[in-house]
Structure 1
Amino acid sequence: MKTNYLRSALLLIAATALTTAANAQKPGKKTAFNSYNNYDTFDGKGRERIQTNWNGKTYQMELANNKLVALSVDGEIIPSTKWSEYSTVIASIREQIRKDKIQAKKDQAQAKRDQEQAGRDQQQAKRDQEQAERDQRQAKVEQEEAARDQEQAKRDQEQASKDQLQAKRDQEQASRDQEQAKRDQEQASRDQVQAKHDQEQAHLDQIQAKKDQERAAEDQRMLKQMIGDMVADHILPNEDALHELSFNGEELIVNGKKQPDNVFKKYSEKYPRFAKGNTTYENGKRQFNGLHIHRN
């Protein structure tokens, strides 16, 4: 009981501090700060505290066990007798919160699948390298076989000279065998060159797969760090509030809002990898999810 009460008290203090800081940045203006807290109170009731900008208005509400207990719109406290007038917008806000939670789980699952695919690619590169080694061994066997064929042709030619009646036919056959041996040797040489090329390509593929995996991990780490900086700079209310991001050498747009020049300069200097890479991030849209960087 005491742990739940302490947790709810800390959340209440944090929410109050964040709201005060956001309002202090632009005196006299309605804040567009979005926040969501879900916690248990000491009396065992589940509490939800929501603050969001919805269709140009700032809504603040608190629910206990899924029932509305407090509501204000643009800083004006709404009496309980008028709550029914806001039932539709409250339901829409809560539905959006539910969808955002579902989307966050989907993004996490997709990241896991991407990592597993990278592992499979690395295993395939290893199999390709092993196949190239087998091809090289086979080429060596064929080359040795060609040498034996050449030796056999020589013996046939010697035998033909001993047999005068059969000499002409044997000599022609030996000549044909020698030509075939030469073609076999040339083919073996080409096979050996191809096997070496395949082995080199497999090695390059393995290196590229490792680089891609490391780059993807570094991009995710830097994105998380940048989101943390945006929360600290009050660009975002929390780490889950980022829905859209566009970052290139000319501008920084967060959730559809272009950031001031001083903010753009700060993040360009700290995250040149994203600024130079023409980075986009979209969360919650069916056609595209996650981080994407166009690299020059």
Structure 2
Amino acid sequence: MSIRLTCYNNYDTFDGKGRERIQTNWKGKTYQMELANNKLVALAVDAEIIPSTQWNEYSTVIAAIREQIRKDRIQAKKDQAQAKRDQEQAERDQRQAKVEQEDASRDQQQAKRDQEQASRDQEQAKRDQEQASRDRVQAKHDQEQAHLDQIQAKKDQERAAEDQRLLKQMTGDLVADHIIPNEEALHELSFNGEELIVNGEKQPDSVFKKYSKKYPRFALGNTSYENGKKQFNGLHIHRN
């Protein structure tokens, strides 16, 4: 049977003798004893003082009690050492928990920043997509405009070729009508709906009407031609 130690005191008296005072229960009885330097000096059972002549009758109980005290002391040291280790482990766990909490806080903040960045990236992607759509529309428009410009350029080229043909023909007529001596002699020409000027000389009304009828393209187009000048060389027709 194990002994339940209810009270135990260990102290020194003024004379330097080590004193131990023990109070505990054993098989339903209360034992109180006092020892000096490991020797029994007082004993009471259920509050009844036992004379020293009867102590031998209780030697087995006293020995059991003292053995239990010895074991309790050993266990107390073990418990104290374990408590210290538990406290140290608790402190380490607390420090680790603090580190993990700080890491978790940083992770949470980073996750928030990542979420905000993802939101900005998503908005930018949306803007890029909208811009790409506008660029496709503009590219299509530019392609259509380029096609129209190509068609217009072809028309302008054909018109310029026709203007040159008519100018050559008109120059031949001016030579035939003795207005200029030869084709190379045509230096300046101004032709519109009101007059015809060749090399600076205004032509008679009859000549003007003849050429206006034959070359309405030039007359109605306000045509000017200069040849042999550094500033300008060629045919210009202004069409309304």
> TM-score, normalised on structure 2?
0.48
Q: Which of structures 1 and 2 has the bigger CA Rg?
A: 2
More helix by share: 1
Question: Which structure is higher in RCO with an 8 Å CA cutoff and minimum separation 6?
Answer: 1
